[in-house]
Structure 1
Amino acid sequence: MVDALVRLVPPMMLDQTFLLLRHPLARARLSDSPNVTEVTLQAEANGPGTLWLLPRLVDLRSVRLFHAPSNILPAGLAMPTVTTVHDLMWLLHPELCRVPGPWGHVETMFYRDGIRRALRRSTRLVAISQATLADIRAVDRCAAQRCTVVAHGIEPVFSPSQGDQDQQECERVRATYAPGAARHVLAVGRSAPYKNHRKVVEAFLLAFGEDPATHLILIQRLGTEAQGLLELARALGAEGRVHVLPSLALQDLIALYRGALCLCQPSIIEGWGMPVGEALACGCPVVASRCAALREVLGEAAEYVDPHSTVSIAGGLRRIARDASARGRLIDAGLRRAREFTWQEYARAMAMVYRECLETPKAAGELGTGS
């Protein structure tokens, strides 16, 4: 999202200047637009320095509109602000996203502080889905009145297989990450309870336990759950058929989407669900929960299951694998659905939000965004 924001919005607003706050590890420029200045911020994007000390870390006196792109609004900002709210999990369901142990409670307090400030103080809020807007309305009706929904886009690089060469690449990548597999089910998402990855492993083995040539590839970032999932697979007699990867090259991810039997995404809750959008665009059928955000993104282009039932998820996986007609319908519906989500439309909507905020009496200076 942030990449599309900084790449596409400044060229749409050449009458304005933008100040982009760079992460210390960022290598390349964030934007080539001539109206952009970049400053390296010696703090994490969603860290204590950013949340509580930002005006002391960087000179923001010329900034007339600040955009916080990831749920939390820094303290001490005097100018009008826009905050993008992806979800309210830290307020409504902290047990589904925090790490176990004492640090999880500290993390919960940190995010709750930033999110509550965003709801209370932001000039405008941008929800990434109607589902997120509904949660905002349930928590703070006044905040919901200042909220606009702007859906995410899908990068054009996510596209379906175009022929034999792409198919051969899918097979090569599968052999690299899942040796011995003739087919694979894919799951993609951060390591967090709301992603429901233990149920994914259990359902996969229930559906394909007697098919040693079908493997599960789970791409799981930002967490320490991998060992537990591998131990679960071992306990269920499927060691070597469940592969948990921390990350991989973009082209390899695309190949795995294109070659998968399906993407398994039985999330308990979501704000939007980038992996399901990417899967649709790659011609990969999706097995998903009926949580509001996923239904909003997927429409009729999914096999829906109960995320709390291993049997239901396994049944969805088996139907996709065995019913070629249903699989084909989902692929066609998914490709049509994916075309509805573009970053160009997202950028145009965000530029409109910025301009509306700049019309407020306080606005007089640069536009700033954290990145």
Structure 2
Amino acid sequence: MEPELTGGRLDGIGVYTQALLANLPGAGCVVQPLSFAPPGAPERLRVGRALPLSFTLATIGDLILPSSARLAVRDLGPDGQPLDLYHATDYRIVRMDCPVVATLHDALPIAHPEWCSPRLRGLKNWLQAKAARKADHVITGSQYSVRELVECFGVDERRISVVYHGVDPCWFDAPDAADVAATLTRHGLRPGYFLTVGTLQPRKNIERLLQAYLALPPVVRAARQLVIVGAPGWRSEELVRRIEAARQQGENVCWLSAVTEHAELRQLYAGSGAFVFPSLYEGFGLPVLEAFASGVPVVASNATSLPEACQGAALEADPLSVPEWTAAMHTIVRDEALRTRLVAAGQRRALQLTWAETARRTVAVYQSILTQ
């Protein structure tokens, strides 16, 4: 398994991979990280041992060789021992001479092509379809994703296991108050703001969130900023213009486009008064779980996998309804009893979804395959 990196920063797949590498040993699994990174690649792209072929060469071989051909990886285990099983934590897999598990997080490029860059959509569709066919077993993060994998890739539901994602224990520990205050001061923030986290792209639905915020009563907007944390992504140009226009008109909107330090992100969660996540599509929704663990009340979309992830611990709203989001945001800041209930429910939910539990359930999947 190998983590993904985007611009030098771990993305969601990278966080998942890193968490498994850290927690699988504690669940009784001996792990050997393997990497498709080519020779001479930067250190940050090389994890554990290099596979005998680059992904490009292995894929070409996969296409031209008989389906019975397998990439020999049995001598790449710890101390040169045979590998019992290979786990690809994204869709970049080839046929191996041992059982293969693939984690497929969603079927977004096929299910909703309008939310994916055309430049990458065809490649991702092809790679995910091949991964779904070649894997002996598939892991995904929600029951919602199971339905999509069956419908979009034709995966036999009997070959799919749901293993929920988790949250690192550090999220349950409140950051130092002085550090939080310093971070807020540096960014010109006041405690109690609405916070959202995610790359600026259409499916994150930040444009409707901005509209909902601007429809709040002036007294609420004056007291509570809207803080958007996320790098600009595909088709974000118009949203960026709208954010800048709101700021120029004196609205309490702050966009932080370059938060890369984990400690700083935790401090931004800690300083918030409510976490708002209006996403149109999620395979799971890790930011919501991080907000739960941080003790922040959450307003979340009622779409795709998010109700399954939240299990009633968030105030839910229709991501397509701006008025519904305005009402939910207004409610969460003025109803203290509701806020208290949501914080408690969120922390209970986060305690059920730790990376240690994810690792334990993942090992159970491995064992079921190896004993078949």
TM-score category by the smaller chain?
Answer: 0.7 to 0.9
Cα 1:40–1:244 change in 2 (3 A) is farther
Aligned partner letter, 1:342: T
Residue identity matched to 1:20 = L
Q: Does residue 309 in structure 1 map to residue 317 in structure 2?
A: no
Counterparts of 1:54 and 1:212 in 2: how far apart (Å)?
61
**Structure 2: distance between partners of 1:340 and 1:21:** 31
Distance 1:312 1:282 in 2: 25
* C-alpha distance in structure 2 between counterparts of 1:73 and 1:135, whole Å: 19
1:60-90 Cα offsets, whole Å, 9 max, x none, are 36355321112x1434545431111111111
1:3 aligns to what?
Answer: 18
2:197 to 161, 167, 188: 188
Instruction: Using the TM superposition, give the Cα deviation of residue 326 of structure 1 relative to its aligned residue in structure 2, in angstroms.
Output: 0.9
Amino acid in the other structure paired with 1:287: V
Residue 49 of structure 1 corresponds to 56
Indicate if the aligned counterparts of 1:54 and 1:74 stay in contact, CA closer than 8 A: no
Q: Greater relative contact order (Cα 8 A, min sep 6): structure 1 or 2?
A: 1
User: Among residues 344, 348, 357, which one is paired with 1:345 in the alignment?
Assistant: 357
Secondary structure in 1 matching 2:282: coil
- Structure 1: runs of 5 or more not aligned: 31-36, 361-371
SS in 2 for 1:261: strand
Which residue matches 2:101?
82
Gaps of 5+ in 2: 1-15, 64-70, 76-82
Match of 2:309 among 288, 297, 315: 297
Q: How many aligned residue pairs are there?
A: 337
Query: TM-score scaled by structure 1?
Result: 0.80
Once the two structures are aligned, what percentage of the paired residues are identical? 26
State the AA in 2 paired with 1:355: Q
User: CA 1:74/1:222 → structure 2, altered by over 3 Å: closer, same or farther?
Assistant: farther
Q: Name the counterpart of 2:182.
A: 172
1:255 counterpart letter in structure 2: Q
Which of 240, 262, 269 aligns to 1:250? It is 262
Match of 1:94 in 2: 113
* Distance of aligned partners of 1:218 and 1:206 in 2 relative to their CA distance in 1, 3 Å threshold: same
Distance 1:2 1:26, change over 3 A: farther
Shift of 1:28: 10
| 2:49 counterpart of 1:38 | yes
| 1:107 match | 120
Structure 2 residue identity aligned to 1:4: A
Tell me, yes or no, if structure 1 residue 21 matches structure 2 residue 21. no
Q: Secondary structure at the match of 1:18?
A: coil
Q: Deviations over 1:200-237 (max 9, x none)?
A: 22212222655334222212146256653342034343
Taking structure 2 as the reference length, the TM-score comes to 0.80
Report Cα offsets for 1:170-219 as digits up to 9, x if no partner.
Answer: 33222222x15453211111232111111122212222655334222212
Match of 1:139 among 127, 149, 152: 152
Q: Which residue is 2:87 aligned to?
A: 67
Q: CA deviation at 1:261?
A: 1.7
Tell me which amino acid in the other structure corresponds to 1:18. Answer: Q
User: Structure 2 CA distance, aligned partners of 1:40 and 1:222?
Assistant: 33
Q: Which amino acid aligns with 1:3?
A: Q
CA distance in 2, matches of 1:39, 1:320: 50
